[in-house]
Structure 1
Amino acid sequence: MPRARAIMFDLDGTLLDSLADIADAMNRVLAGLKLPEHPRQAYRFMVGEGMPTLVSRALEPLRDQKTEKVALAAMREEYGRSWRDQTRPYPQIPQLLTTLNRREIPLTILSNKPDDFTRQAVEELLAPHRFALVRGARPDTPRKPDPGGALALAKELNLPPAEFIYVGDSGIDMQTAKRAGMFAVGVLWGFRPAEELRQNGADALIDTPSQLLEILGE
C-alpha cells in the first residue's frame, strides 16, 4: 500500500467493546414488548448496520411496521440510559491511540451508531485521545457500506482516500473501505470472524492493536 497519512476507525467492535450494553438494552426493550430475547453472542451478527437494522433483526420474524417503530424509539431511550454501563475500550487501544497521536497521524471515526451516541462515546470513553473528525449515522450521511461518509471525511481532511487506512471489524467495514478506495484492515478482536472480513475484501487482518503500527511501517 502507499504510505498512509491518516487512519479511519470504525467504533463498536473496533475501538470499543460495546456488545454487552447493546445486547442488554435491546433485550430489555424486547422484554418490555413481551417478545423473545436473544443471547448476547447472537447480537454479534445483528449489529454493524445502524440501530434501525439492529432493531429489525432483533424483532424477526415477529416484526411489523408499528412494532418496529415503537421498538426503535424504546431502544434509543433505553440505550441512551445504559450505553456506558459495561462499554470500554478494547485492551491496548488506549496505548495505540496515544502512539498515533504522538506521531501526529490524523485519526477519524466513522460509525453506523447514531451520531449523538457516537460523539458522546468518543468524548467520554476515548478521551484524552485526539480525533480530527468523528461522524456517526445522521440524515445527511448514508450508512456504511455506502462510501459517502468515508469520502466526506477524507475530503474534509483534504487527503486522497488512497492515503487512508480504514480499520474495522465487519464485512460492512471492509466493503466501505474498498468502495472508498482505502486500504482495508480487519481486526480479529471484534464482533465478526476472519472469514467474513476476507470475503469482503480485507487487505490485511490484525490480531492485536499494536500490529497496526507494523502496517504503518512504524
Structure 2
Amino acid sequence: MKYKAVIFDLDGTLIDSLEDLADSANEALAKHGFACHPAAAYKKFVGNGVKQLIKNAVPAGTGEEIVDSILDDYRIIYNNNYVNKTKPYGNIPEMLVKLRAAGIKMAVCSNKPHRPTNEIIEKVLGKDYFEVIFGEREGVPRKPDPAALLEAAEHMGITPAEAIYLGDSGGDMISARNAGMYAAGALWGFREKEELEECGSQVLFSDPLQLVEFIDRNNS
C-alpha cells in the first residue's frame, strides 16, 4: 500500500504539553480545594476531552456541578498558559519538513478543544504543514469515533486506506482501526507500548523520523 497522507494526534504525539496541562489542571483543582497531582499522573488523565480530564483528576463520585465549575476555571487558566512549557518532541519539526518534501499530505485530529488545538499548532509548529486541523468540535463525536479522521481524509482527497494515523494512546489505535487507516503508535508519548499493542497498533515508532523511513520503504 502506498500512503498519501498522515493524520496526527496532537498531545503526546506532535507536542509535549504535559506540564502545561498538569499545571493548569492543578491550579483549577487547588482553587476548589482538591488535591493536586504530579505531572506524570496526567499521562493517564488526558486523551478523552477536557471534561474527562477533570473527572479523572477529582475523586470518584464528585458531583457534575463541581466538575463543571472546575472545568470552567481550567479552560480559562489553560487558555492563558498553553505554550508556557509546551514544545515539539525531538525530531518532529524535521519529520514534518521531510514529509512535506516527499509530497505527503498531513492533518491533525485531536480531542483537545478546536481553538487551542489550532492556536498551539500555529505557535509551536506552524500551520502551513497541515491541510486540515481538527480539535474537538460541537456535533462531531470524539475519538475513538472515526468521524473526524474520515472527514480529514475527505478534505485531503484520499481514501482511509491511503492514510496512516499516528497517535500515542490506545484510543488513537482504536480510532485508526475504526476509520480503516493504518494504526501507528508513537512510543515517545504519554502511554505505554503495551497499551498501544493491546489496542491494535500495526507499527510502533520510537523516533518520529522512523515514520518517514517507513513511508519511503512502502512507497518506493
Partner of 2:27: 28
Deviations 1:145-195 (A, max 9, x none): 000110111111221100000000000100000000000000100000000
In the TM superposition, what is the alpha-carbon distance from 1:128 to its structure 2 partner?
Answer: 6.3
**Post-superposition offset of 1:104:** 2.0
Measure how far apart 1:25 and its partner are: 0.4
Amino-acid identity (%): 40
Give 1:88's aligned residue.
Answer: 87
**Map of 2:76 onto structure 1:** 77
Task: Note if 1:99 corresponds to 2:92.
Answer: no
Q: In the TM superposition, what whole-angstrom CA distance separates every residue of 1:41-60 from its partner, at most 9, and x where no partner exists?
A: 01000001110110111112
Look up the SS of the partner of 1:14 in the other structure.
coil
Cα distance in structure 2, aligned partners of 1:216 and 1:32? 47
Task: Tell me which amino acid in the other structure corresponds to 2:114.
Answer: D
Structure 1 residue 78, shift from structure 2 partner: 0.5
Q: Distance in 2 between matches of 1:119 and 1:207?
A: 26
In the aligned structure 2, how far is the partner of 1:65 from the partner of 1:53? 11
Q: Secondary structure at the match of 2:12?
A: coil
- 1:23 alignment partner AA: A
- How many aligned positions are there? 217
* 2:153 maps to amino acid: A
Q: Which position in structure 2 is the counterpart of 1:113?
A: 112
2:185 is matched with: 186
Equivalent residue, structure 1, for 2:161: 162
Q: What is the one-letter code of the residue matched to 1:201? A: G
Separation (CA, whole Å) in 2 of partners of 1:118 and 1:171? 20
- RMSD over aligned CA atoms reads 1.0
Normalising by structure 2, we get a TM-score of 0.96
List 4+ stretches of structure 1 deviating above 3 A.
Answer: none
| Alpha-carbon offset, residue 140 of structure 1 | 2.3
46-55 or 150-159: which moved more? 150-159
Q: Matches of 1:54 and 1:114 in 2, distance apart?
A: 12
Residues 6 and 165 of structure 2 are in contact (CA less than 8 Å); yes or no, is this contact kept in structure 1?
A: yes
Instruction: List gaps (5 residues or longer) in structure 1.
Output: none
1:151–1:180 contact (8 Å) kept in structure 2: yes
Residue 207 of structure 1: aligned partner: 206
Aligned partner letter, 1:82: N
* Cα drift, residue 91 of structure 1: 0.7
Q: TM-score if structure 1 supplies the norm length?
A: 0.97
Q: Deviations over 1:7-54 (max 9, x none)?
A: 000000000000000011000001100111111101000001110110
Cα distance in 2 for partners of 1:103, 1:216 equals: 9
In the TM superposition, residue 62 of structure 1 has moved relative to its aligned partner by 5.2
Partners of 1:168 and 1:174 within 8 A in 2: yes
- 8 Å Cα contact 1:97/1:129 also seen in 2: no
Q: Does 1:15 align with 2:14?
A: yes
